[in-house]
Amino acid sequence: MTSIIVFLLQGLASIVSIVIHIGILLLVVRAIISWVSPNPRNPIVQFVRGATDPFVNRIKALVRTVYWRLDFAPVIGVTILVFTERTMWYLVAKIIEWLG
């Protein structure tokens, strides 16, 4: 029974990890897009901004992110996502250790 719980926990953590990696990729793409100033009507640009705007706008509401005309919100977002993923895997390892 314990091994089933361990496999389910690891599987769920892996799925969350994949979602976090996709978020990181989208934030990196958003940062690159902001450097080249593409057409805002481009469907890829609209998708990336639509997918990342809720997260980035929350960061911007909490912290001043623009310095020297550079927006650091995507960098802060990537840092938050990496920290979240590492914390999740640490907790998963501790739970598995506790289960024996």
DSSP string, the chain: -HHHHHHHHHHHHHHHHHHHHHHHHHHHHHHHHHHH---TT-HHHHHHHHHHHHHHHHHHHHS--EETTEE-HHHHHHHHHHHHHHHHHHHHHHHHHHH-
* pTM, two decimal places: 0.85
pLDDT band at 24 (very low <50, low <70, confident <90, very high): very high
The better pLDDT of the pair 30, 60 is held by 30
pLDDT in tens, 33-88: 888 878 888 899 999 999 998 998 898 888 876 777 777 888 899 999 999 999 99
